[in-house]
């Protein structure tokens, strides 16, 4: 028997012959097709309404959005008062002193004897002895003048590369500056310094057990060649944090040295290091 026969009125009458046909299964079978059609129409209407209503609302009822031009807000700059730079002394030109006229040197006659023919005229010359040559220079004529030991020593005129003195003391290489035109910098910048500290610092066990947190302020000197010197703790927390901060700072690689007037100088640097326990 085909399935379509279940909905045939004749088939339903045969099944429900002699039974109550006023309500129940017989009534449901008779209105089944109508229920299916109504349910399909309602479903399609709801689905279509969900698509059409927003479209109609946007076309007829929505107000167009106005374009608002973005505004750029520039905050006031932060003014930092820096200490005044030390005055730069102008370079003094080297004064050239003309060489003094050479003084005459005392000489004594001293020459080796020569063999001459017997008939040649002989001119007698007194030859100096060894005592007289101690304070004179041997020569062919006797000239009065200063002793050789009293002659001033003058450098040759073509001597180059040596500057004369200016009469003033030079820059003191041991001076430690609190501020320079170009401050010292860690190789790679501040971000690289932060990575170095986070990688090398070890939280002391005593501080960790006691729950100690805070900032250790360390000061040190960046030398003229970039080496770290004179490490000191200005503000500590105790429980081993001070020693750990000083240890890591002392072992830092060379920095870029600070410069004053284009010359590397030693600069004191202060660095706060924060110790914090992870939750």
- My answer on whether 200 and 140 are in the same domain is no
Q: What is the per-residue pLDDT across 159-204, written as a single tens digit (0 to 9) for each?
A: 444 454 444 444 555 789 999 999 999 999 989 998 999 899 989 9
Instruction: Give me the CATH number covering residue 247.
Output: 3.30.2420
Domain membership of residue 93 (yes or no) is: no
Q: Looking at residue 244, what is its pLDDT? A: 92
- My answer on whether 144 and 185 are in the same domain is no
Domain membership of residue 85 (yes or no) is: no
Helical segments of 141-225, H only = 190-200, 205-210
Q: Looking at residue 60, what is its pLDDT? A: 80
Domain membership of residue 92 (yes or no) is: no
- My answer on whether 245 and 182 are in the same domain is yes
Q: Which two tokens stand for residue 118?
A: 């017997």
- My answer on whether 130 and 204 are in the same domain is no
Instruction: Determine how β-strand 137-139 pairs with β-strand 176-177.
Output: unpaired
Q: How far apart are CA 239 and CA 243, in angstroms?
A: 9
- Phi and psi at residue 132, to the nearest 5°: -75, -30
**Smallest Cα–Cα separation from 267: which of 154, 138, 174, 180?**
180
Domain membership of residue 95 (yes or no) is: no
**How would you class 277 by CB atoms within 10 Å of its CB: exposed for 0-12, middle for 13-18, buried for 19 or more?**
exposed
Q: Looking at residue 141, what is its pLDDT? A: 55
pTM higher than 0.75 for the full model? Answer: no
Q: Looking at residue 114, what is its pLDDT? A: 54
- My answer on whether 268 and 182 are in the same domain is yes
Q: Looking at residue 69, what is its pLDDT? A: 42
Tens-digit pLDDT string for the chain (279 aa): 455 544 555 666 667 776 766 667 767 777 788 889 999 999 999 999 888 888 888 888 777 655 444 433 334 444 445 456 566 666 676 767 776 666 565 555 555 555 555 554 545 555 555 566 556 555 555 656 655 555 555 555 554 444 544 444 445 557 899 999 999 999 999 899 989 998 999 899 898 888 889 999 999 999 999 999 999 999 999 999 999 999 999 999 999 999 999 999 999 999 999 888 876
> For the chain, what is the domain count?
3
Domain encompassing residue 129: 102-113+124-150
Q: Looking at residue 108, what is its pLDDT? A: 54
Is the separation of the CB atoms in 218 and 268 below 8 Å? Answer: no
Q: Looking at residue 56, what is its pLDDT? A: 83
Q: Looking at residue 173, what is its pLDDT? A: 58
Q: Looking at residue 220, what is its pLDDT? A: 95
- My answer on whether 181 and 145 are in the same domain is no
Q: Which two tokens stand for residue 208?
A: 């960790």
Q: Which two tokens stand for residue 217?
A: 């302020």
Q: Looking at residue 226, what is its pLDDT? A: 93
Domain membership of residue 231 (yes or no) is: yes
Domain membership of residue 6 (yes or no) is: yes
Q: What is the per-residue pLDDT across 130-156, written as a single tens digit (0 to 9) for each?
A: 566 556 555 555 656 655 555 555 555
Domain membership of residue 188 (yes or no) is: yes
Q: How far apart are CA 9 and CA 26, in angstroms?
A: 10
Domain membership of residue 136 (yes or no) is: yes
- My answer on whether 180 and 270 are in the same domain is yes
Is the separation of the CB atoms in 231 and 220 below 8 Å? Answer: yes
């Amino acid at each position: 028997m085909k399935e379509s026969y279940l909905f045939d009125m004749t088939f339903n009458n045969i099944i429900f012959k002699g039974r109550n046909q006023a309500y129940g299964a017989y009534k449901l079978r008779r209105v089944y097709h109508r229920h299916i059609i109504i349910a399909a129409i309602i479903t399609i209407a709801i689905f279509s309404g969900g698509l059409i209503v927003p479209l109609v609302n946007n076309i007829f009822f929505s107000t167009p959005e106005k374009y608002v031009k973005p505004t750029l807000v520039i905050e006031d700059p932060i003014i930092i008062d820096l200490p005044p730079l030390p005055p730069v002394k102008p370079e003094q030109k080297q004064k050239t002193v003309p060489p003094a006229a050479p003084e005459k040197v005392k000489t004594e006659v001293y020459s080796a004897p020569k063999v001459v023919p017997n008939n040649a005229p002989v001119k007698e010359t007194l030859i100096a002895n060894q005592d007289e040559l101690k304070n004179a220079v041997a020569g062919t004529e006797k000239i009065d003048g200063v002793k050789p030991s009293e002659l001033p020593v003058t450098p040759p005129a073509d001597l180059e590369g040596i500057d004369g003195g200016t009469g003033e003391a030079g820059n003191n290489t041991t001076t430690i500056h609190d501020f320079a035109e170009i401050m010292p910098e860690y190789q790679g910048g501040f971000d690289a310094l932060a990575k170095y500290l986070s990688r090398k610092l070890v939280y002391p066990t005593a501080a960790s057990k006691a729950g100690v947190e805070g900032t250790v302020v360390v000061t040190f000197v960046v030398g003229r060649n970039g080496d770290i010197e004179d490490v000191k703790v200005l503000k500590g927390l105790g429980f081993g944090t001070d020693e750990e901060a000083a240890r890591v700072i002392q072992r830092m690689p060379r920095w870029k040295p600070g410069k004053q007037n284009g010359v590397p100088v030693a600069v004191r640097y202060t660095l706060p290091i924060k110790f914090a326990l992870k939750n």
